[in-house]
Amino acid sequence: MSKRGVVTDYAGDELYAGDLVAYAVRQGNRVRLSDAIILDVTAVNVGGRLRPMLNVQPTGNESGFTRRRSMRSLWISAEHVRLVTPNFVQGQER
């Protein structure tokens, strides 16, 4: 268990802006893994419960042989995210 108010991945590691994470991405009928850098960490009230959400920017490193169509930032749930490298983007303070 982690401290109250801190968003964590499924292993309990704390997630902050600037961290490199891996998450599952759907493309058509397939699922692949993608790396992304966290831009923003927040929680959204969904049905009376707080759901941790991450605004991420994909890096382009993915499993699979089909290229990603766009590199736009997107909001994902922190439910199936795993921390790869903490503080990956230099110059961002915690």
CATH of residue 68's domain is 2.30.30
Residue 9 lies in a domain: no
Pair 39, 17: CB distance under 8 Å: yes
User: In terms of pLDDT, which residue wins out, 44 or 92?
Assistant: 44
Number of domains observed in the structure of the chain? 1
Structure tokens at 31: 């699922």
pLDDT tens-digit readout, 25-63: 887 888 888 999 999 999 999 899 989 999 999 998 888
Confidence of residue 84 (pLDDT cuts 50, 70, 90): very high
Residue 65 lies in a domain: yes
Average pLDDT, the chain: 85
29: Cβ contacts below 8 Å, ≥ 6 apart: none
- pLDDT for residue 94 is more than 70: no
- pLDDT for residue 65 is more than 80: no
Residue 70 lies in a domain: yes
